[in-house]
Amino acid sequence: MRATSGSPRDARPLRIWFDVTNSPHAVIFRPFIARLTDRGHLVTVTSRDFAQTIGLLDRFGIPHTVVGAHGGAGRAGKARAMLGRTTALTRFAREERFDLAIAHGSTDQPIAARAAGTPQVTMFDYEFAAVMHHTNGRFARRVLVPDAIPEAALARFGIRSPKLVRYPGLKEEYYLADHALDTGGVRTELGLAAGGVVAVLRPPPEVTLYHRGISNDVFAATLARLLGDSEVQTVVLPRTDDQRRQLAGTSAIVPDRPVDGPSLVAAADLVVSAGGTMNREAVALGVPAYTPFAGTMGAVDRRLIDEGRLIRLDDASDVAVRPRARDAAPPLRDPGVLLDLMLAPAAGR
């Protein structure tokens, strides 16, 4: 049940377990896994069959073991899926006896790691996912969040210092520093013509609990506007098969396999995402980004909007459809800083 990358290069390598449960996590953890492997640590990855998670791990050449799948939109399905997956991961963690477990928003790994006696580090950057935070707040050894999220916002979940560590900036500013952007490659892969405007859109995560019952007509109107503009090449990254079917017969460019998201963002003139990670990648890379997010806005996005780095999209006509200035991208951050925060619990810190 184990998929391991790397080999020890020093006398005391750590056995580190990453649980990758959603598409962005493959991109987020890729550079940290590479750094750990280069430093001689033994890295094991488990994954969940959801969205493009498995495809991205395979694309990036990250060995992994698939454990469980998403439970769908309903609460009962989610509960069944979580119970089955957590049980399987608990057995796995007890067998493997890891030194450290790391995940971004996994509700399964913190419980399994605690049952196995493994210190667990969880990361997130949206403070209103209450079900997840109640679990993580109880079982994680360390919780890493951007400093835009105040400690008071997490206290009700039992997440406070010293368990809570708030790091400066965005996680995207750290992991993108190690990401080799290939804008030419992604343009060729998707058949994007030279010239014109490239718009990248990511629909709302309709199967996520905190979106249930919330309409997102602004996103639909924006998509219609861009698809109706012959000067715009509109790349849409659907989250579900149903979304993919809805795009059939339109002029949307829909990749037939997982793409290198950061390289696509870097090639774009604008990004419209109803989620968070892709917008924050755009912010980190200096690409105009719009959020039609219809739920409760998190502290990270509120700060970016206040700073003028992210645009709140209330009407489709607000999107500036033009080639972006290709100025120098904003400076990124040292990934080693965030990696050291992840590793600290393994040393009892």
Q: What is the DSSP string of 233-301?
A: EEEE--SSHHHHHHHTTSS-B--SS---HHHHHHH-SEEEESSSHHHHHHHHHT--EEE---SPPPHHH
Residue 81 pLDDT > 90: no
Task: Quote the pLDDT of residue 326.
Answer: 85
Of residues 61 and 215, the one with the higher pLDDT is 61
Per-residue pLDDT, 34: 98
175 assigned to some structural domain = no
21, β-bridge pairs: none
pLDDT of residue 166: 98
- The answer for residues whose C-beta is within 8 angstroms of residue 53's C-beta and 6 or more apart is 20, 21, 22, 23, 25, 26, 47
For residues 231-250, average pLDDT: 92
pTM for this prediction = 0.90
**Of how many residues is the chain composed?**
349
- Say if 277 falls within a structural domain: yes
Percentage of the chain lying above the pLDDT 70 cut: 89
pLDDT at position 214: 47
* Structural domain boundaries enclosing 13: 4-169+333-347
Shared-domain flag, residues 116 and 204: no
What is residue 239's predicted lDDT score, i.e. its pLDDT? 83
Shared domain for 152 and 9, answered yes or no, is yes
Partners of 197 in beta bridges = 232
Report phi then psi at 91, rounded to 5: -60, -45
Q: Where are the alpha helices (DSSP H) in the chain?
A: 23-38, 53-59, 75-96, 109-116, 130-139, 171-175, 183-190, 217-227, 241-247, 261-267, 277-285, 299-306, 335-343
Radius of gyration of the chain from Cα atoms? 20
Residues with Cβ within 8 Å of residue 146, at least 6 apart in sequence: 125, 166, 167, 168, 169, 170, 171, 299, 300
pLDDT at 136: 85
Quick check: is 174 in a domain? Answer: no
Total domain count, the chain: 2
Lowest mean pLDDT among 109-118, 125-134, 206-215: 206-215
Same-domain status, 113 and 259: no
Query: Is the same domain home to 205 and 286?
Result: yes
Mean pLDDT of the chain, nearest integer: 90
Q: Are 306 and 131 in contact (CB under 8 A)?
A: no
pLDDT at 348: 82
pLDDT over 90 (residue 334): yes
Q: What is the pLDDT of residue 112?
A: 97
Residue 94 clears pLDDT 90, i.e. is over it: yes
Same domain membership, residue 247 and residue 119: no
CA 101, CA 123: separation in Å to the nearest integer? 11
Give the model confidence (pLDDT) of 289-311 as tens digits. 999 987 889 999 999 999 999 99
For 246-261, write each residue's pLDDT tens digit.
Answer: 899 999 999 999 999 9
328 in a domain, yes or no? no
**How far is 307 from 37, CA to CA, in rounded Å?**
37
In this structure, the answer to whether residues 21 and 98 fall within a common structural domain is yes
Assigned token pair, 35 = 């750094």
Task: Give the per-residue pLDDT at 51.
Answer: 82
Confidence of residue 213 (pLDDT cuts 50, 70, 90): very low
Co-location of 70 and 190 in the same domain? no
Same domain? For 164 and 186 the reply is no
Beta bridge partners of 232: 197
Per-residue pLDDT at 50? 87
- Regarding whether 126 and 68 lie in a shared domain, the answer is yes
Whether 129 and 220 share a structural domain = no
**So what's the pLDDT on residue 3?**
44
CATH number at residue 234: 3.40.50.2000
Q: Give strand pairing partners of 270.
A: 199
Confidence tier at 74 by pLDDT (50, 70, 90): low
Whether 134 maps to a domain, the answer reads: yes
Query: Is residue 324 included in any domain, yes or no?
Result: no
- Establish if 192 belongs to a structural domain: yes
State whether 188 and 163 are in the same domain.
no
Give yes or no: residues 251 and 112 share one domain.
no
User: How far is 204 from 201, CA to CA, in rounded Å?
Assistant: 10
